[in-house]
A and B are shown apart, each in its own frame.
Chain A
């Protein structure tokens, strides 16, 4: 495999940034990087995704950073992340300007209310889908609810909540010698 130039990396991620309507960005990334351009093997991609999911930040942007770095170092990482983010940012500027201008229009306000209501449904579905395993495990469910109540209802500051809850949650899942993987 020839190492692509940063410009080529930017172009590839820009394409994803333009076409990836409706979320599920990781699938778009895999199609382009693994299946399409063959810049990473399936295993390399999964390893990048694992890092991206574990560290803070958006999974898609983190994967772009790792893939870009692997392909062309710091300039590759910058090319990948900016290529991914810029198209959506430009479209959002346009949507935002329209919103500021027309938000008091009755028709626009009604359509936006419907859009926002649908977006809540989408986030709810994504939460239920990726949380399916956690909802049916009593210990996990306790942490789901504890986090929800502290941060969602009582507005305990997120860093404080993480410092309080995360160590306990991790220690309860500590590695056990007899555990079978």
Chain B
């Protein structure tokens, strides 16, 4: 039960801190769930994040799986694990949704306010900095993991850079590239 309350606290706060989209809270989420509460391992976090990229819909729905694994980790039954998943999903989506619902009512009052533009211009680089920190938070296990061999890390970094380059060069559904990454991983990484 205490675990559920902790999950609720952490993800409600993350919900309201997700400035400029869900990826902005990735670094904080990784820190809270892996280092502070140890609900998931760093490997689990990277994998759960990437599973989120393969599912349709908002890819941050993967937070539910963190709740599921956290309950698992605390030795709860599967039924409780599903409850934890639901708690996390509601905690992550409800607060920001309530805020949006409320503010969209009064938004028009600020339409002509010049500070709105300032807020957007000022926050944009912060969001980008947070997203870069998100790349680092996931990449420090998924791309370059000191526990893996040099050969292994070369392949994971190569796959990541290849995906980045291909997406810049071609208009292609990213989910297909993620799947292709899985095939490459299966082929080259299983022996290492």
A residues adjacent to B (C-beta < 8 A): 16-25, 47-48, 51-62, 65-66, 69, 74, 77, 81, 84-89, 91-93, 95-96, 99-100, 103, 106-107, 109-131, 133-135, 137, 140-148, 151-153, 155, 157-159, 162, 165-166, 169-175, 181
Contact = CB atoms under 8 A, between A and B. Distances in A.
A173 B65 contact: no
A171 B121 CA distance: 10
B33 interface: no
Interface in B117-159: 117-126, 128-139, 141-143, 152, 155-157, 159
B129 A118 contact: no
Contact of A120 (B20, B65, B122, B143): B143
B138 A87 contact: no
Nearest to A168: B122
B192 to A, nearest CB: 8
- Please report whether the interface of chain A is mostly helix, strand, loop or mixed according to DSSP: helix
Interface of B: 13, 15-23, 25-28, 31, 35, 46-62, 64-65, 68-69, 72, 82, 85, 89, 93, 95-97, 99-101, 103-104, 107, 114-126, 128-139, 141-143, 152, 155-157, 159-164, 167-168, 173-190
Contacts of B16: 56-57
Contact of B101 (A65, A141, A148, A175): A65
